Chain A
Amino acid sequence: MKKKRYFSRTVMFLLAAYFALMFLMPTVLTITNSFMSQSELAANYGQVFSNFSGAKTYIAERVNLKFIPDMVSFSQYFTVLFKSPDYLLKFWNSVILVVPIVLGQVAVAALAAYSFFRYQGRMRQFIFFFYVVLMLMPYQVMLVPNYLVADWVGILDSRWAIIFPGMFAPFSVFLLTKFMRRIPPALIEAAKLDGAGEWRIFTRVCLPQCRSALYSIAILVFIDYWNMVEQPLILLPDASRQPLSVYLSSINAGEVGVAFAVATIYMIPTLLLFLHGEEYLVEGITHSGSVKG
């Protein structure tokens, strides 16, 4: 009996290890390949990305997926950081699109969630249900209304066309309302008895209680928008202002070496957030786990 259990645990472990390998491989490969020199990349991937700029270089017969570079080289990073300002500019485009969206959405959502948390009534149920329905709509549906408004207000093809709809997206409201429900009512009552007004209760009792929730929501929203592709394509066709998430795909084959380095640089903010806030992230996901408001 005991032997059998040991065997099944080994199988489980091997299965998990297999999945882990599959899940990690693409990310790890991207990072390690960014430390290869242009000629090494050309040799390995010449079959896939034709037209390498240095055409004289050696190209292997077959594609060669390699985890560890023959020689660690920082030349790609040097090129990206000091020689081609284009990539850094696109990176900056991403930053000034995503940071206002994250801050704005969290701020607007905190206020709205507090309202949903404190007020119970039929009207509240109706509006909250409306927010949930909106949250469940795919981009394909919501981009048309977003486009129309941006056109009327005259912000089409400017960053605001993406930032505004992002700030008012109902996802955070939904999640924060669920978090706030865990605040003990006695805490609110006590603050009330001490004569605190609603604004004071909100800033001094409610917000400190949800500090970790705010952080986890900020991470989720950041990851989502750092990855955006659909919105810039339609609302911000001006290529010079598009974020790196769109621009990376248009890098032509001659710059494949640089592309790996840019891809890695683009991962760094989300990677750091993930490593630092994984527990918060998991908690945030856990609490999104039910549609019922």
Chain B
Amino acid sequence: MHRKRKPGLLAPGKMDKDRLIALAFLWPSLVGVLMFFVLPFGVVCYYALIDNPVQHNFVFLANFGKLLSNSAFQTAAKNTATFSGAAVPLAVALSLLLAVLLECRIPLKSQFRTFFLSPMMVPVASVVLIWQVIFHYNGALNDFLLVFGADKIDWLKSDYSQLVVIVLFLWKNLGYNMILFMAGLSNIPRDLLEVADIECAKPWFKFFHIKLRFLSPTILFVTILSLINSFKVFREVYLLTGDYPYETLYMLQHFMNNTFRSLDYQKLSAAALLMAVVMVLIIGLLFIIEGRFGKDVEG
């Protein structure tokens, strides 16, 4: 491939040798990525546009229309969207709170960090038993609430179930996000905060006008990360309630699993492509928002 290059930077022959060396190191990864992700994803795009794998007639958007009118898909998409819409902002706000807590001078700081981080290393399958004991109809939480005279709630089989899953999601993910925020907080230039101190700025002013603006790249990253992780909450739901959970817990991954069972390639491909497009749009939008409001400290 012919490329323009700035004259005088590197001799032409050397450039090509560099590129060969780079390729020599990159090829194992590149071949694997192409073979297991990129090429099959191309086929997914193709499958999403044809009527069936035998006749290969192009139907363009018909598969998407069918998918969007599928009631199972509608439920799954709606549930996933409400869950992510509630869980992601909560995850960002609460992990920032934890990071700020640990920034203050309190005793046992490093122990607290360890404790907050510990849920991330616990496999979901290992704590599912305890979640069951707590959230079961006859479980510990209802028992506790009974003391205050509250009625029994079937946490996993009622409209409260999304709430339970949000709690489980936060439990597992706050620690990881907190570490990211702690790193972001420690990168804020000290002298700026000292100037603010000299000027007798109020703590909330310091937080909202200085820290938060410098944290905006971190907030962006934590938001994206939490969004991706929010799709993984299927693990908790599946291990707690199985293939067919209460209606508000029926996530997109359940829909995919059940569609895999019937091997409807068109539906699967259309769903995967649609999700990829939506993800790219959301992430692009987040980048634009951050670019407009954030202070670019990375240069």
Question: Which A residues are within 8 Å of any B CB, using their own CB?
Answer: 9, 12-13, 15-16, 19-20, 22-24, 26-27, 29-30, 33, 45, 47-49, 62-63, 65, 108-109, 111-112, 114-116, 118-119, 121-124, 127, 130-131, 133-134, 136-149, 164-165, 167-168, 170, 173, 198, 202, 223, 226-227, 229-230, 233-234, 244-246, 248-249, 256, 259-260, 263-264, 266-267, 270-271, 273-274, 278, 281-282, 285-286, 288-292
Contacts and interface: CB of A to CB of B under 8 A. Distances in A.
Contacts of A168: 29, 32-33, 35-37
Interface stretch (B58-66, B107-115, B192-200): B107-115
A229 B238 contact: yes
B289 interface: no
What is the predominant secondary structure among interface residues of chain A facing chain B?
helix
A109 B29 contact: yes
A134 B123 contact: no
A164 B175 contact: no
Nearest 4 A/B pairs, CB to CB:
A168-B32, A145-B40, A119-B22, A112-B29
B283 interface: yes
Which of B23, B38, B221, B272 has the most chain A CB atoms closer than 10 A to its own CB?
Answer: B272
B121 A271 contact: yes
B126 A124 contact: no
Contact of A23 (B115, B130, B138): B115
Contacts of A146: 36-37, 40
B150 interface: no
18 contacts: A9-B104, A19-B112, A27-B119, A30-B127, A62-B143, A63-B140, A115-B22, A146-B36, A148-B40, A165-B37, A198-B25, A234-B256, A263-B128, A263-B129, A264-B126, A278-B117, A282-B113, A289-B184
Contacts, number: 281
A259 B123 contact: no
Contacts of A292: 217, 298
B36 A165 contact: yes
Given A138-B279, A223-B120, A256 B220 contact: no
Contacts of B107: 13
B28 interface: yes
Interface of B: 1, 3, 18-19, 21-26, 28-30, 32-33, 35-41, 43-44, 98, 101-102, 104-108, 111-134, 136, 138-140, 143, 171, 174-176, 179-180, 182-184, 217-218, 220-221, 224, 228, 231-232, 234-235, 238-240, 242, 252-253, 256-257, 260, 268-269, 271-272, 275-276, 279-280, 283, 298
A9 B116 CA distance: 19
Given A9-B105, A168-B37, A266-B126, A229 B234 contact: yes
B125 A246 contact: yes
A282 to B, nearest CB: 6
A267 B41 CA distance: 35
A149 B36 contact: yes
B123 A270 contact: yes
Nearest to A268: B126
Nearest to A118: B22
B261 to A, nearest CB: 9
Given A12-B101, A164-B36, A285-B179, A267 B126 contact: yes
A288 to B, nearest CB: 8
A144 B126 contact: no
B106 A12 contact: yes
A63 B143 contact: yes
B127 A263 contact: yes
B85 to A, nearest CB: 15
B32 A108 contact: yes
Contacts of B111: 20
A274 B121 contact: yes
Nearest to A65: B140
Contact of B180 (A15, A24, A33, A286): A286
B208 to A, nearest CB: 18
Contacts of A230: 232, 234-235, 253
A30 B130 contact: yes
A124 B22 contact: yes
